[in-house]
Every structure is written in C-alpha cells, then in structure tokens.
C-alpha cells in the first residue's frame, strides 16, 4: 500500500500539538519539518498549546516533567525525560546550585564557577565564566533595544565585601552588580534596600520580580529590577499579607505574561492563589482571587530547600517539590475537589524549576562554544 501524503496544513496542525522534545526529534524527518522550527507562525501556534514543564536536578542528572491534563485531571499523563546536561564543570556545592529560566532558555548556576546558558530542547549549552569567583548569582534578564536585533542578556548578583568600621572592626555588606554576558563586563549599582531575595527572583519579559517586605512595617510587596534602565523598583503591593511569619508566598508566571501568587497559611495549611489580569500595567496591577484549596493532603511548603515550582491551568494547581519524607520529586495536582500526589521514582531532588515556554531559538553564538 502506497504511503498517504497528508496536506501540509494538516501536518503542521499535528506537529504543533507535539511536546517540545518530540517536536525537536521530528526535525530529522524531512527538510520541511526542520524548517518549521524557524517559522514564527508555527512556533506561536505551538507555544499557545504547550504546557509548562518542570525541570529538576538530582545529584547526577537533570530531568524534565511534562504533564497532560486532557483527561480532566483525574488521571493525568506524566512524561519524564532525562535532558542533556553534560556541563563542563561539576557542582561544588549542590545546596548553592540553582536553575532559572529567561526567555525560554535555562540558566544553571555553578557555585564559584560560572553559569551555563542552556537550551535542552536543542541540546545546546554555552558557558559564562566569572572573572571574580565570589560573584553571587541572583537572576537573569535582558536589555532589549529595537535598533539591535539580538537581546543583551545580563545577570544580577552581588559580591560580599568588608567595610572598616574602626581600626579593629569590620562589617560585611553586599555590593550589587550587573554582569553583561556578551561583553563580560561587571557594573556596580546602588541598591535602595538591605533585604536580599530569600527565593530566586522570577524572570518575566526581561525583568526580575520577587516578593519582599518592608523591614519597618513588615508589609509584603513585589520588587522588580529593570535590566534596560538597570534600576530597582517597587512594582506593586501583594493582594494578601502574611498572618504568620512562617506563611509561604511563592510567585510564578501566569499564562506567559502575567503573575500568580500562592500563599500557604502556616497554621492551617490552606493554599490560596491570586493572579494578575492578562495584560499587566506597571501603573496599576490588578489582582484577582482565583481559588482557595482545602488543607487535606497538601504538603507543608516551608523549608523546601529544593524549591517550589508550580503553574496554573484553569483552576488546577500543578506543583513540583521534594517529598517531605523521602526527598524524591513529587507532583501535586490540586483543585477544589481533588488533591492527587504522584511521586517520581528518581533520586532525591536538589532543585526544581518551572519552565513556562520552551524556546526553539539557538543559544546565542557568543556562548555556544561548548556542545552538549
């Protein structure tokens, strides 16, 4: 029987529904399929359908977790894939190893060594090596100039320095700096605050966002860092405040260009979720209460050293964190009428991160000297 040739538009419709790793593998089938990964219309169609994925690290490997809720969430399909992670260095201290995402790329920080500029979807990695090994990584963003075709990626961080108070006494302070990746230049900045983020800032549309509080009033709000102007800003107040010092507040990306806030009450374990309207305006950020979840079977989120990653699909919370007893990666799928825990049978998770939009753009050439 002769093979049936499908119409091109039907082929593209089918391919646009594939998970990222499967789509990348399909490039080798034919030239047309390969060219689709450079077609903006096709990529936009694919990105509109793809779900966020979790990336987590163990002692020796990195994995991605893809979750499909099309069955209604009662019996989700979970796919776990090992992702290429043959980095030029081994982590000296896994407690200081972090993964963050920016613009669909992954950045893995290696304590006192540098940062890997990583695209696991295309099996590409570049290496950013600090001149000053004591530079502390905080987050990644970019400076976008309409007159320049490529984004200029930058890293926000700090150096621990000593200041003489007297002839016999010194105090430690943080000297904030921006590291420009392409030029390898380090620029020092004045920070209008003392409280550094206790959780990794969130990268969204090239800027960083994190939850902090006023040291005097203890009022919680979101602070941001704008990489284009290289300035810190008070972005907005939170829709809720802490009722207990150990309440947990976790920020995440919502629908690609918005923010979501998860609060867990330390006393009751209850989780509440707020989201911003789809189009955020820095002049007026509007929060909407999305859902409040029951306390039964929910994990305590305090002291999760490996991090807490989550995303929202309609009114379902999908969360990844380490199991309270075993430390292995666990997925929680929670909504008002259900709380389902699925333990991933792998090594102890060291860090987890939610990647909202896989990027099929190559790692910039100045960083791509090291193939995976």
Residue 334 has pLDDT above 80, yes or no: yes
More confident residue, 58 or 8: 8
Helix (H) or strand (E) holding 89: none
User: Please, which pLDDT band fits residue 156 given cuts at 50, 70 and 90?
Assistant: very high
Compute the distance between CA of residue 138 and CA of residue 115 in angstroms, rounded to an integer. Answer: 11
The neighbour count for residue 272, using CB atoms within 10 Å, is 16
Residue 34 has pLDDT above 60, yes or no: yes
Check residue 74 and give its pLDDT.
63
Compute the distance between CA of residue 88 and CA of residue 100 in angstroms, rounded to an integer. Answer: 18
Q: What are phi and psi of 142, to 5 degrees?
A: -150, 155
Nearest by Cα to 346 from 110, 109, 57, 97: 57
DSSP-derived secondary structure for 203-222: EETTEEEEEEE-TTT--EEE
40-49, 168-177, 212-221, range with the lowest pLDDT? 40-49
Report the percent of the chain where pLDDT is more than 90.
12
Residue 237 has pLDDT above 60, yes or no: yes
Check residue 369 and give its pLDDT.
46
Nearest by Cα to 351 from 93, 71, 4: 93
Cα four-point dihedral sign 265, 266, 267, 268: positive
293, 240 Cβ separation under 8 angstroms: no
Residue 47 has pLDDT above 80, yes or no: no
Residue 179 has pLDDT above 70, yes or no: yes
- For residue 106 the two structure tokens come to 């992954």
Residue 122 has pLDDT above 80, yes or no: no
Question: Cα–Cα distances in Å, from 47 out to 52, 69, 332?
Answer: 10, 17, 24
335, 317 Cβ separation under 8 angstroms: yes
Give the pLDDT mean for 17-30: 78
194, 173 Cβ separation under 8 angstroms: no
6-15, 86-95, 262-271, range with the lowest pLDDT? 86-95
Check residue 280 and give its pLDDT.
65
Compute the distance between CA of residue 3 and CA of residue 22 in angstroms, rounded to an integer. Answer: 22
Give the pLDDT mean for 175-200: 82
Check residue 9 and give its pLDDT.
84
Tell how far CA 3 is from the center of its chain: 43
Residue 370 has pLDDT above 50, yes or no: no
Tell how far CA 47 is from the center of its chain: 16
Give the pLDDT mean for 199-214: 89
- pTM score: 0.86
Topology adopted by domain 51-69+76-367 = Neuraminidase (2.120.10)
Check residue 330 and give its pLDDT.
82
Residue 232 has pLDDT above 80, yes or no: yes
Check residue 357 and give its pLDDT.
53
Check residue 354 and give its pLDDT.
67
Check residue 87 and give its pLDDT.
73
Residue 207 has pLDDT above 90, yes or no: yes
Q: Which of 3-7, 24-28, 357-361 has the highest mean predicted lDDT (pLDDT)?
A: 24-28
- For residue 283 the two structure tokens come to 């002049």
Q: What are phi and psi of 25, to 5 degrees?
A: -65, -30
Nearest by Cα to 349 from 97, 133, 101: 97
pLDDT 10s digits, 259-290: 999 999 888 888 899 999 866 656 678 899 99
Residue 93 has pLDDT above 70, yes or no: no
Residue 352 has pLDDT above 50, yes or no: yes
Give the pLDDT mean for 235-249: 89
Long-range contacts of 187-192 (CB under 8 A, 24+ apart): 187/230, 189/230, 191/232, 192/232
Give the pLDDT mean for 237-249: 88
Q: What is the DSSP letter of 367?
A: G
């Amino acid at each position: 029987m002769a093979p049936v040739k499908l119409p091109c538009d039907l082929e593209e419709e089918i391919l646009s529904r594939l998970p990222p790793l499967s789509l990348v593998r399909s490039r080798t089938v034919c030239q047309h399929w390969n060219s689709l990964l450079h077609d903006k219309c096709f990529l936009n169609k694919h990105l509109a359908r793809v779900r966020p994925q979790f990336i987590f690290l163990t002692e020796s490997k990195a994995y991605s977790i893809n979750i499909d809720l099309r069955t209604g969430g009662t019996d989700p399909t979970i796919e776990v894939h090992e992702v290429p992670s043959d980095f030029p260095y081994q982590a000296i201290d896994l407690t200081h190893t972090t993964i963050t995402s920016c613009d669909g790329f992954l950045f893995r920080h290696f304590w006192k060594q540098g940062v890997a500029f990583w695209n696991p979807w295309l099996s590409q990695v570049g290496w950013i090596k600090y001149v000053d090994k004591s530079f502390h990584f905080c987050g990644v963003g970019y400076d976008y100039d309409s007159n320049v075709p490529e984004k200029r990626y930058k890293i926000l961080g700090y150096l621990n320095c000593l200041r003489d108070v007297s002839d016999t006494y010194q105090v430690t302070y943080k000297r904030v700096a921006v590291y420009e990746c392409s030029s390898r230049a380090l620029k020092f900045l004045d920070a209008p605050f003392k409280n550094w983020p206790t959780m990794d800032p969130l990268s969204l549309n090239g800027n960083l966002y994190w939850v902090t509080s006023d040291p005097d009033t203890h009022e919680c709000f979101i602070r941001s860092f704008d990489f284009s102007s290289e300035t810190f800003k008070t972005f907005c107040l939170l829709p809720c405040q802490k009722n207990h010092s150990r309440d947990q507040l976790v920020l995440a990306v919502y629908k690609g260009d918005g923010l979501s806030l998860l609060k867990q009450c330390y006393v009751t374990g209850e989780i509440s979720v707020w989201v911003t309207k789809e189009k955020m305006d820095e002049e007026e950020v509007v929060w909407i209460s999305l859902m409040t979840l029951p306390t039964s079977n929910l994990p305590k989120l305090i002291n999760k050293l490996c991090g807490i990653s989550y995303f929202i699909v309609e009114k379902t919370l999908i969360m990844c964190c380490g199991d309270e007893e075993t430390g292995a990666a666990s997925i929680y799928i929670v909504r008002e009428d259900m709380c389902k825990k699925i333990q991933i049978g792998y090594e102890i998770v060291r860090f987890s991160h939610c990647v909202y939009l896989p990027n099929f753009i190559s790692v910039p050439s100045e960083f791509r000297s090291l193939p995976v």
